[in-house]
């Protein structure tokens, strides 16, 4: 009976993690509740995972990473490194991938990709090469870098936490480095000699506009505006280099030509980059409408921020409009504009169904922006701020981060204590304030790790892990452990498509580890192969880093299937061959 309950919960977890009808933390807590009520695990066992030092370490890394990003360190490092790479496309591609790999081995790969897109596209313009040739390698390299260290991805930390909970020695800071370096070298060589040649240069690219994202927005001429009576083609808007797509006057569309003069109440559908939209927002006599008319006094309040948020895969906002979502009432934010690659239809912003890959320009309090992102699986690409130079506090925090890595790796301090020290010091020196530090922590991921650790205990208590392991071992009895390990690796990659990498790894790990024990082989080999496999799936553009470059690179879905699919197969083969060498079966 207990086995049946656990297997049903496992199937439910996979389904709900994939569909994200409920957020992963809510699903995890519901599963814990059922396991406690059914008596499969005790209350103490249910909360064991939440006391793990890996939970503390991951929370600290989120805080340190946010402090480093807030103070411009990543932006300066990435920008200056890319700027020095020269004009040779071959060298440039290798250099961009190398920079991305080194930084993403220690930093969040999504944040890194977002920060490097602008300098990479600027170089594309300078050397007159299509950005598609550089942006996909950038995104792929950011994923590869995470395979080199324990802190390279949250999936590595989640997997290490689970290994520790079942009595295996957890992954050390640089234990994955030999395997990770092999994957990185293979990835660079593949992209230079194969991937770069099969990445299409789709369509003509206006190289003068490469560094900027252009947004569709609505602006309304207010009473007393100095623009009233101006010809469209001689208006302040035209001089600000906005593209005016349409004018609606008292509900009627007006054909745009030199004879049209602006009137009070006119609604203009305009296109421009984020910086120009911010200038327009502050201009006298005109307001951005967005999904609701922007109050200028409200925008001048100190706690008002402008941010770009990316619609991620499985976001709850997909297929919703800002009107049906009641954006302003529910989230306390104003949707100012929308960026969608290839978007041509000019309709009211509040009536456009959102799609994966859309980027919304939103305005509101920083905590509301953070809450919107976490509640709806969005990525904050960046806040509109003038600070682009690294601060002294930022460099000090970066030094603390390096010190924490050294102290933890050398065994002078426990890794979790070293990173906690760095996180606390970053708050003490005011590199990041307390509220921002708490907002930087991905609490959903921490709940997922703690809860799925308890689920692993439930599988052991009920005997479900032995049941599944015996079944798998009998099916592959004649094939040998290497092929069983390969099957788990492929299963993990498949599961990372609809669900998060960490969730996929945590679902597969309990079964794989028990199967290894039933087959009398080293469970550590199976565990590491699964953890690393969860981070190298590039078959689709559903990874956040890939979504970020999808629009600027003018890619199509099949481009990732073709280029990333071959690379994923190559990387899986390398993992399959190298894991038994470094972690013998």
> What CATH number is given to the structural domain containing 335?
3.30.70.1450
Predicted pLDDT at 342: 62
Q: Looking at the domain assignment, is residue 481 inside a domain?
A: no
Total tally of structural domains belonging to the chain: 2
Residue 329 lies in a domain: yes
Would you state the pLDDT for residue 487?
94
pLDDT tens per residue, range 488-508: 999 999 998 878 899 999 999
Of residues 135, 271, 131, the one with CA closest to residue 204: 131
Neighbours of 429 (CB within 10 A): 14
Using pLDDT thresholds of 50, 70 and 90, give the confidence band for residue 383: low
Q: Which of 343, 358, 376 is the last residue of a domain?
A: 376
- Of 354, 376, 398, the domain-final residue: 376
- pLDDT score of 204: 47
Checking if the pLDDT of 207 tops 60, the result is no
DSSP 231: B
The residue-averaged pLDDT of 390-419 equals: 90
Query: Residue 385: is it exposed, middle or buried by C-beta count within 10 angstroms (0-12/13-18/19+)?
Result: exposed
SS3 of residue 306 by DSSP = strand
pLDDT band at 233 (very low <50, low <70, confident <90, very high): confident
pLDDT at 118 over 90: no
Residues 368 and 317 in one domain: yes
Given 327, 352, 376, the domain boundary residue is 376
Q: What is the pLDDT of residues 532-546, one digit of tens each?
A: 999 998 888 878 888
pTM, rounded to two decimals: 0.79
Query: 362 to each of 113, 282, 310, 349, 545, how far by Cα in Å?
Result: 21, 15, 11, 12, 21
Task: Report percent pLDDT > 90 for the chain.
Answer: 39
Count other Cβ atoms within 10 Å, centred on residue 356: 17
Which pLDDT tens digit goes with each residue over 159-189? 999 999 999 999 999 999 999 999 999 999 9
- Kindly state whether residue 347 falls inside one of the protein's structural domains: yes
Range in 135-139, 196-200, 237-241, 340-344 with the lowest mean pLDDT? 340-344
pLDDT of residue 498: 79
| 389 confidence band (pLDDT: 50, 70, 90) | low
**pLDDT one-digit tens code per residue, 13-42:** 888 887 777 888 899 999 999 999 999 999
pLDDT in tens, 429-456: 989 889 888 888 888 889 999 998 899 8
Mean pLDDT over residues 405-415, rounded?
91
233: in domain: yes
φ, ψ of residue 71 to 5 degrees: the values are -95, 15
Which residues, including other chains, have CB under 8 Å from residue 548's CB and lie 6 or more apart?
110, 113, 114, 117, 139, 310, 379, 381
pLDDT score of 211: 45
Helix or strand or coil: residue 341? coil
Share of the chain above pLDDT 70, in %: 92
Identify the pLDDT of residue 303: 60
What is the spatial distance between Cα 66 and Cα 59, in angstroms, rounded to a whole number?
11
Average pLDDT, the chain: 85
**Count of alpha carbons within 13 Å of 325, Cβ hemisphere only?**
25
Torsion of CA 212, 218, 224, 229, to 10 degrees: 80
- What is the residue range of 236's domain? 215-272
């Amino acid at each position: 009976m207990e086995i049946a309950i656990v297997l049903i919960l496992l199937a439910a977890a996979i389904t709900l993690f994939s569909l994200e009808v409920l957020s992963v933390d809510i699903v995890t807590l519901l599963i814990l509740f059922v396991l406690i009520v059914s008596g499969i695990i005790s209350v103490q066992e249910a909360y064991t995972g939440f006391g793990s030092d890996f939970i503390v370490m991951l929370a600290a890394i989120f805080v340190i990473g946010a402090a480093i990003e807030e103070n411009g360190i990543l932006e300066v490092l990435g920008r200056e490194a890319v700027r020095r790479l020269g004009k040779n496309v071959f060298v440039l591609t290798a250099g961009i991938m190398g920079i991305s790999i080194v930084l993403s081995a220690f930093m969040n790969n999504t944040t890194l990709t977002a920060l490097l897109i602008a300098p990479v596209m600027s170089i594309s313009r300078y050397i007159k090469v299509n950005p598609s040739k550089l942006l996909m390698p950038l995104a792929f390299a950011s994923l590869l870098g995470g395979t080199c260290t324990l802190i390279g991805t949250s999936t590595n930390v989640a997997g290490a936490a689970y290994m520790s909970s079942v009595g295996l020695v957890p992954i050390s800071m640089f234990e994955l480095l030999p395997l990770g370096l092999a994957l990185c070298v293979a990835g660079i060589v593949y992209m230079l000699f194969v991937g770069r040649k099969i990445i299409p240069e789709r369509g003509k690219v206006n190289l003068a506009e490469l560094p900027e994202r252009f947004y569709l927005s609505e602006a309304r001429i207010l009473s007393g505006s100095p623009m009233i009576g101006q010809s469209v083609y001689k208006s302040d808007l035209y001089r600000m280099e906005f593209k005016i797509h349409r004018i609606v006057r008292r509900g009627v569309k007006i054909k745009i030509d030199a004879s049209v003069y602006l009137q009070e109440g006119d609604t203009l559908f305009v296109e421009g980059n984020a910086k120009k939209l911010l200038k327009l927002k502050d201009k006298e006599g005109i307001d951005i409408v967005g999904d609701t008319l922007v109050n200028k006094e409200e925008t001048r309040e100190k706690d008002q921020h402008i941010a770009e948020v990316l619609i991620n895969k499985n976001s709850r906002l997909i297929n919703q409009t800002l009107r049906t979502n009641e954006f302003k009432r529910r989230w306390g934010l104003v949707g100012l504009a929308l960026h969608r690659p290839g978007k041509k239809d000019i309709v009211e912003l509040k009536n456009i169904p959102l799609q994966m890959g859309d980027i919304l320009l939103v305005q509101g309090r920083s905590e509301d922006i953070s809450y919107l992102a976490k509640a709806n699986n969005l990525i904050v690409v960046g806040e509109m701020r003038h600070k682009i130079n690294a601060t002294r506090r930022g460099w000090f925090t970066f030094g603390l981060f390096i010190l924490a890595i050294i102290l933890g790796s050398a065994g002078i301090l426990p890794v979790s204590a070293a990173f906690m020290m760095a996180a606390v010091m970053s708050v003490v020196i005011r590199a990041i304030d307390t509220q921002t530090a708490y907002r930087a922590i991905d609490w959903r991921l921490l709940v997922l790790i703690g809860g799925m650790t308890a689920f692993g205990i439930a599988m052991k208590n009920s005997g479900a892990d032995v049941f599944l392991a015996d079944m798998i071992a009998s099916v592959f009895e004649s094939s040998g452990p290497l092929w069983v390990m390969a099957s788990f690796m492929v299963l993990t990659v498949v599961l990372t498509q609809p669900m998060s990498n960490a969730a996929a790894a945590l679902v597969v790990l309990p079964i794989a580890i028990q199967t290894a024990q039933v087959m009398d082989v080293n469970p550590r080999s199976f565990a590491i192969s699964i953890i690393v496999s969860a981070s190298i799936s590039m078959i689709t553009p559903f990874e956040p880093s890939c979504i970020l470059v999808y629009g600027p690179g003018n890619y199509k879905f099949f481009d990732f299937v073709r280029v990333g699919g071959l690379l994923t197969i190559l990387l899986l083969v390398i993992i399959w061959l190298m894991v038994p060498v470094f972690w013998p079966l």
